[in-house]
């Protein structure tokens, strides 16, 4: 099955002119099981729109323990801090189900 960025529900709901503006910047990214997309406190460079992958957001505590705070699949996106004007995040993003993302 060919990869279609609009498999992500958020991308699919964009108006045609809005999608046309961001479409040239979308890139297919393979997401292997267990890969960390970003680490807590790390600098964010990309936004990810999962199409077939599932990613867990983990809150990392001071003493190293972590707790899952969210799961993101093709209904959402990762990297909201960039949209909100920040460059870092307090969470860690780890691929829980391999697949592809559009970033």
pTM attached to this predicted model: 0.85
pLDDT in tens, 49-67: 999 999 999 998 888 788 8
Q: Is residue 53 helix, strand or coil? A: coil
Q: All domains of the chain, ordered by start, with CATH? A: 5-102 (2.60.120.10)
Q: Look at residue 102 and tell me whether its pLDDT is greater than 80.
A: no
One-character DSSP codes across 58-72: EEEPTTS-EEEEEEE
pLDDT in tens, 10-28: 999 999 999 999 999 999 9
């Amino acid at each position: 099955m060919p990869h279609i960025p609009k498999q992500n529900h958020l991308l699919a709901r964009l108006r045609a002119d809005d999608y046309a503006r961001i479409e040239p910047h979308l890139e297919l990214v393979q997401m292997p099981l267990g890969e960390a997309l970003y680490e807590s406190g790390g600098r964010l460079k990309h936004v990810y729109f999962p199409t077939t992958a599932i990613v867990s957001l983990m809150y990392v505590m001071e003493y190293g323990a972590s707790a899952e705070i969210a799961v993101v699949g093709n209904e959402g996106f990762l990297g909201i801090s960039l949209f909100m004007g920040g460059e870092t995040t307090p969470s860690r993003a780890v691929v829980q189900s391999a697949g592809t993302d559009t970033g």
